Amino acid sequence: MERPDIERDVHVAHDVIMVTQTAAQGHRSITDAVSAAREGSVIIVSAGQYHENLVLTKAVTVTAEDGPGTVRLVAASGPAVVLAADSAALSGLTVEAQDDDGPAVVVTAGQLSLTECRVTAVGWSAVYALDRGAVLMRGCEVSNPTGAGIVVTSSAGNILDSCQVHDVGTSGIVVAEHGELVMRACTVRDAGGNGICLNGHGRLTATDTTVTATAKPAIAIEQHAGATATRLAVSDVPGIGLYLASSGSILIEDGSVTGAGAEGVLATESCAPVLRRFRVNRAREHGYLFSGRAAGSAEECEATEIAGAGVGVRDRSTTEFTRMTVSACTGDAVSVESAADPFFRRLRVFGCDGAAVE
């Protein structure tokens, strides 16, 4: 008879580690479980509230036994979670930092994966990825009534997939310095600043993302930052929908702004965005305003129900428009002033109260 591999069986058994606050067998804290774990171990946490500053020193997976919302990891001071390994994963945890000086989750190196987690904080950011660190977040919820939701300054492959960022005191998502972020099917709402703010040399790739109810421009792209966005939808903002003031590459396709208290899209400071099949509906000033030597192009774009001019071009801007449609504006369809030199191909105007081109 073949001798069983006893050593292998023992190692497999040790791959699963239990954490419980009851008298049952297992560790009493997640930190103790990580200390006892081997690389690749799965740590299963029973329901309850755990007051810890969790430092993930090994490639482990920490998961809530009874699913999302049943395990709270609370840090009274300092970050609740810090990654100090090449990789680690959290699943179904509520992570809360009560310290107003810092984030709840900090990743300086390696990749931290969070799946169906909720992260809350009261510091300047809830999640912070910097240096060589990266976050991979799927189906997560982030809130922070004091500061930002997620701040990324690293270029190490940060991804948000089907996440919600809401009820934040400043900006929902910030990509700065040389940070890079990919967003897919995400929602940002109820932000005291921008919904998404890009500056420095930050770079965003966004698909099927919505931004709504932000106190400042829903999307702000400044300095040398760049973005590629497909099906980006902005709605119900009291000010500007998209504020584009960057020397970086900006491509926005099949997106929209619906309900803006000022311009739907404002491009300035020599910004040269490429807009394709973009729609602005119900803006209170201009649908699109290109100023400050802006350039770029708008292809098959629309401005409808604008309380003002549909398209404004001023201050030596040279934007090119192809198959632009402007309708139902209370002002001119197109307003050109201040030595601007735009170029229009196949402009279509319907039902505007002012001139077609002024």
Positive or negative, the Cα torsion across 147, 148, 150, 153? Answer: negative
Q: How far apart are CA 175 and CA 141, in angstroms?
A: 18
Detail the DSSP E strand segments found in 185-240.
187-191, 196-198, 203-214, 219-223, 226-237
Same domain, 149 and 242: no
Same domain, 144 and 261: no
Same domain, 130 and 17: yes
Q: Which residue has the tokens 């990324």?
A: 152
Q: In sequence order, which ranges of the chain are alpha helices (DSSP H)?
A: 6-13, 30-36
Residue-level length of the chain: 358
Same domain, 24 and 87: yes
- Which DSSP category does 262 fall into? S
Residue 7, SS3?
helix
pLDDT at residue 23 in the model: 64
Residue 227 within any structural domain of the chain: no
Q: Tokens for 194, please give them.
A: 């921008």
Residue range 204-256, pLDDT digits in tens: 999 999 999 999 999 999 999 999 999 999 999 999 999 999 999 999 999 99
Amino acid at 141: E
Same domain, 18 and 141: yes
Residue 309, SS3?
coil
Residue 225 within any structural domain of the chain: no
> Distance of CA 85 to CAs 34, 55, 59, Å?
12, 9, 6
Amino acid at 214: T
Residue 287 within any structural domain of the chain: yes
Same domain, 204 and 243: no
Q: How far apart are CA 49 and CA 239, in angstroms?
A: 41
Residue range 5-63, pLDDT digits in tens: 433 343 444 489 999 988 667 889 999 999 999 999 999 999 999 999 999 999 999 99
User: Which of 216, 242, 275 is the endpoint of a domain?
Assistant: 216
Residue 159 in this model has a pLDDT that exceeds 60: yes
- Angle (CA) 173-165-111 rounded to 5° is 65
DSSP strand pairing (141-144 vs 265-267): unpaired
Q: Is 85 left (phi over 0), alpha (psi -120 to 50) or beta?
A: beta
Structural domain count of the chain: 2
User: Which of 216, 244, 270 is the endpoint of a domain?
Assistant: 216
Q: How far apart are CA 77 and CA 51, in angstroms?
A: 10
Please state, for a pLDDT cut of 90, what percent of the chain lies above it. Answer: 91
**For all residues of the chain together, what is the average pLDDT?**
94
Residue 113, SS3?
strand
Same domain, 91 and 150: yes
Do residues 57 and 30 make contact, with C-beta atoms less than 8 angstroms apart? no
User: Which of 184, 216, 248 is the endpoint of a domain?
Assistant: 216
Please state, for a pLDDT cut of 70, what percent of the chain lies above it. Answer: 96
Residue 153 in this model has a pLDDT that exceeds 50: yes
Residue 259 within any structural domain of the chain: yes
Weakest-pLDDT range from 216-225, 311-320, 349-358: 349-358
Same domain, 159 and 41: yes
Same domain, 205 and 285: no
CATH number at residue 191: 2.160.20.10
CA 70 to chain centre: 26
Residue 54 within any structural domain of the chain: yes
Provide the β-strand partners of residue 252: 229, 275
Confidence of residue 156 (pLDDT cuts 50, 70, 90): confident
Provide the β-strand partners of residue 343: 320
Q: How far apart are CA 113 and CA 118, in angstroms?
A: 13
Same domain, 119 and 9: yes
Provide the β-strand partners of residue 113: 89, 136
Residue 221 within any structural domain of the chain: no
Same domain, 154 and 206: yes
Q: Which of 94, 112, 220 has the alpha carbon at shortest distance from 158?
A: 112
Q: Which residues of 177-207 are buried (b: 16+ CB within 10 A; e: fewer)?
A: eebbbbbeebbbbbbbbbbbbbbbbbbbbbb
Same domain, 82 and 31: yes
Q: How far apart are CA 37 and CA 19, in angstroms?
A: 12
Q: Tokens for 314, please give them.
A: 């001023």
Residue 229 within any structural domain of the chain: no
Residue 17 within any structural domain of the chain: yes
Q: How far apart are CA 262 and CA 79, in angstroms?
A: 38
Q: What average pLDDT does the segment 117-140 reach?
A: 98
Instruction: Find the domain containing 350 and state its range.
Output: 234-358
Q: Which residue has the tokens 């491009």?
A: 267
Q: Which residue has the tokens 């996440």?
A: 163
Task: Give φ, ψ of 165 to 5 degrees.
Answer: -120, 120
Q: What average pLDDT does the segment 334-346 reach?
A: 94
Threshold 0.85, pTM exceeds: yes
Q: What average pLDDT does the segment 270-293 reach?
A: 97
